[in-house]
């Protein structure tokens, strides 16, 4: 009998495994490993079943039978950066010296993330700019990838804004970096004050964007 088929909800994953092993010992059945099953996904499925029961639902009713599996797969997708520790999807390029002082801006990059306080979605757009130094630039498609990398985990908008700027600054060591993020938060619109359609804007500036008011204002005006 596969071990994962006899795990019981209502206990921690470690407790469930221990209980399941004891059951198998009592019946003298062999414990077999299921290589295609991911323990983390199974733990999420069991937790979702427990949540459904706790809110008064029946996890066995027809409409909810596959819900735990769907939710587990969803979390794997939207929290895909949760265990990653380094952004590696980039390649640096060189530009001509005459172009080194131009500001490179990528506007309205869509993103979504999950609030670490309530585990509800927040989503919006990121605007990212930098001024190259020594001719070093990054492929334009890599900045949206960086936004995805930073946002696909439990976080808050302030951290996403800062992390985009700091990682880009570490990669390029440019003359300056500017990031502005605008987002709607479901933890504000669905609960608490329930203020629908409200927008939250955060910004983070480094280098010339932080030091020069003129450079900063030029960037902010370009977003309008």
- Give me the active site residues, please: 115-118, 157, 185, 187
Distance CA 13, CA 18 (A): 9
Alpha-helical regions (H) of 173-207 = 186-189
Exposure string (b/e) for 163-189, b if CB count within 10 Å is 16 or more?
bbbebbbebbebbbbbbbbbbebebbb
* Contact indicator for 153, 79 with CB cutoff of 8 Å: yes
**In the numeric block, which tokens belong to residue 57?**
């639902």
Helices 39-54 and 13-27 cross at an angle (nearest 10°) of: 100
Q: What angle do CA 60, 63, 67 make, to 5 degrees?
A: 75
Q: Are 137 and 173 in contact (CB under 8 A)?
A: no
Chain centre to alpha carbon of residue 100? 32
- Please spell the DSSP secondary structure of 143-194, one letter per residue: HHHHHHHHHSSEE-HHHHHHHHHHHHHHHH--SEEEEEEEEEEHHHHSSTT-
């Amino acid at each position: 009998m596969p071990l994962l088929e006899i795990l019981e909800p209502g206990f921690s994953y470690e407790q469930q495994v221990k209980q399941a092993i004891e059951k198998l010992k009592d019946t003298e059945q062999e414990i077999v490993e299921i290589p295609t099953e991911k323990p983390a996904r199974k733990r999420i499925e069991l937790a979702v079943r427990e949540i459904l029961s706790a809110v008064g639902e029946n996890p066995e009713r027809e409409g909810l039978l596959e819900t735990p599996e769907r939710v587990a797969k969803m979390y794997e997708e939207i929290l895909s950066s949760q265990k990653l520790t380094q952004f590696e999807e980039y390649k640096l390029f060189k530009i001509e010296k005459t172009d080194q002082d131009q500001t490179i801006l990528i506007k309205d990059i869509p993103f979504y993330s999950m609030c670490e306080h309530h585990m509800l979605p927040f989503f919006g757009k990121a605007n990212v700019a930098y001024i190259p130094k020594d001719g070093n630039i990054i492929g334009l498609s890599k900045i949206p990838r960086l936004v995805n990398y930073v946002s696909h985990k439990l976080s808050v908008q302030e951290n996403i804004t800062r992390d985009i700027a700091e990682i880009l600054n570490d990669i390029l060591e440019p003359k300056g970096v500017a990031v502005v993020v605008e987002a709607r938060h479901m933890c504000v619109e669905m609960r608490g004050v329930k203020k629908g359609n409200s927008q939250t804007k955060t910004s983070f500036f480094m280098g010339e964007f932080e030091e020069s008011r003129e450079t900063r204002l030029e960037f902010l005006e370009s977003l309008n």
